[in-house]
């Protein structure tokens, strides 16, 4: 995973990706199988990139937001963390736009 993080962060413009940075870091190919490590990627970005720009994601946080938003909850975006941030923003009463520090 460390090599994957280094590879993603070394790409030009990576610091401008906002929430998409997590979705770029999350996929990890191991023994020919791709795993989605969204929780790890979100926590990495929260603690090492911008704590205010990247809310911590895990399944419990996702379910809590879904419970509170009810019909306003959106699951339509194929980018898991971007969708999570959109829903997080709706819960907070505004649009959540994580960005560079």
Range 83-98 burial, b when 16+ CB lie within 10 A, else e: bbbbbbbbbeeeebeb
pLDDT tens string 36-78: 999 999 999 999 999 988 999 999 999 999 998 988 888 876 7
User: What is the average pLDDT across 6-12?
Assistant: 94
Query: Band of the pLDDT at 98, cuts 50, 70, 90?
Result: low
How far apart (Å, rounded) are the C-alpha atoms in residues 94 and 47?
23
Q: Whole-model pTM above 0.85?
A: no
DSSP 8-state class, residue 29: E
Bridge partners (DSSP) listed for residue 6: none
Please state the domain extents for the chain. Answer: 2-92
Kindly give, in sequence order, each residue whose CB lies less than 8 Å from that of residue 60, ignoring residues fewer than 6 positions away: none
């Amino acid at each position: 995973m460390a090599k994957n993080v280094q590879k993603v962060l070394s790409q030009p413009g990576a610091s401008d990706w906002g929430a998409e940075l997590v979705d770029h870091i999350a996929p990890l190919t191991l023994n020919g199988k791709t795993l989605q490590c969204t929780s790890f990627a979100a926590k990495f970005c929260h603690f090492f990139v911008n704590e205010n720009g990247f809310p911590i994601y895990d399944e419990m946080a996702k379910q809590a937001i879904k419970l509170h938003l009810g019909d306003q909850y959106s699951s339509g975006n194929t980018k898991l963390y971007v969708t999570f941030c959109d829903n997080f923003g709706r819960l907070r009463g505004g649009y959540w736009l994580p960005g560079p520090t």
